[in-house]
Structure 1
Amino acid sequence: MKLKPNSAAFPPALISHWEKSDGINFAIALARITGWMLQVDWLTGSQETTENEMIPVRVYVETNQDVVFDFTGKKGIMAFNQYVIRRVAASRVRPDKTYISTRCYQEENLLEMPLRVKANEAEIERATKAIFANPSFLALIPKRQNPEIPAYLASKFSHGNCIPFAQALSELTGLQAMGISVSRYHPDCGNKLGFCHVVILHPDGSVEDSWGKQSLQQVLDRFYILEYTMNRDIYLLHQTRQKFESAQYYEDAYILAKSLLKEKADN
């Protein structure tokens, strides 16, 4: 049986062109259009090292549900790693750099990174036109719920800074913050059991975090959670612990969250 052509696919010549530049111009164009996360995968020997000691692999755009949108199409993060990242990394791997580190960037910071190919505004504009000329591809991409908060900050507030963000949002809305402790993850997730995330609970049962208001199931799916406990005591316990262990770090994140939420409310 003859397969139907993919209406969301880009022309092969353009794909080849973007492949040679590690996707940087396409990714920047798509991030500007959609507001989603601008990510880079690096080859490294340690997750703690700086980018100057890493080898860049690919620049791409990812949603908060682990779905990648790349010039090769839409892929779940695991499929993207298997069929795209591993292929590219295999040609660049060195004995001292065998691990993949994924990092999220603000566009301005990305331009300062030691990437193999530098971004080019003319090429970004060319990619922008190609993306808008492909409405089938754009239609696949979900819209962000709260684009007022830059994606790189929403990502930081979702991983590591969810507690100070929840405090700021709770104070603004008058709603309670709830901590989530996990007793079972999906087998594909290697996270440690226990405390995972904090959300604000709305009267209608929906929840809210740095990515906006959504169903609780969306949050559970995002973190690959299968079994959990959610209550205010979990939030308070870990808030106290984080304030004690990283007082200045917590205060800085809280002040930033409060400023972003106030600016959003004022608009």
Structure 2
Amino acid sequence: MQRKLLFPSIFILLLLSFSGAAQGLAGAKNLDRAVLMHLGYGPIFSSGDLQDRFGNGFSLDGGLTWLPANSNLELGFRVQFGFGDQVKEDVLAGLRTSNGFVIGNQREPADIQLRQRQIFLGPALGYTLKIGKNQRAGLHLKTSVGYFFHRIRLQEDAVQNVPQLNDELSAGYDRLTGGLAIHQFIGYQQLAFDRRLNFYLGAEMTAGFTKGLRTFDIPLGTPPSSEGRTDIVLGLKAGLIIPFYFGEGREIFYR
């Protein structure tokens, strides 16, 4: 009886071993047409006119890209959201006491924090220059032309409010600025043969040709300057790619 049970067990083990070996030899080709979902994170550094308003921070980026079959040319759309707590322009200076406090409706110092916020969005065109055997792994270049804007966010006190910063007036303090912009990325990108380890990392730059968008700046007591600005954001970025392939495209690799 034990021998009868032993033979089927050995056969099943051998079958599983062969299946595992076959999966190790069979690689899903990564040359099919695909939709790529990007999600990245990294530090950003203010430059140009922007460095007078903000210090450094961090950014999240995401996007969707169409990749034709047997091609390294990508066409898609990307969004980048920048944030940080280094704000150099104190738009609340006129509301502060001699001790530097902003007084709330409870006649106590209110905890109002200034934060930086940035957004870039627009269509993107990218290309990967092959390095090595993998056609879709190598030097990746990407450019985007879109819209960039930034503002000073007033993070309000959770307990009390400041009447001068109510919903109708707070927009007069945020210095909302925006305009056309160009984004450039250069780095390394990989779409793996087995479709599992897909990532990108590199350096990027956003140059925005902006101007103030509010009709009135309360701290200045005048409309914002109509003079154009050149706001530059430099950054480092690392991210993951989730590919959605269309087509079979399987190939057996023998070693």
TM-score, normalised by the number of residues in structure 2 = 0.20
From the two aligned structures, give the one with the greater strand fraction: 2
Higher helix share: 1
Q: Structure 1 length as normaliser, TM-score?
A: 0.19
Query: Whose radius of gyration is greater, 1 or 2?
Result: 2
The higher-RCO structure (CA 8 Å, 6+ apart) is: 2
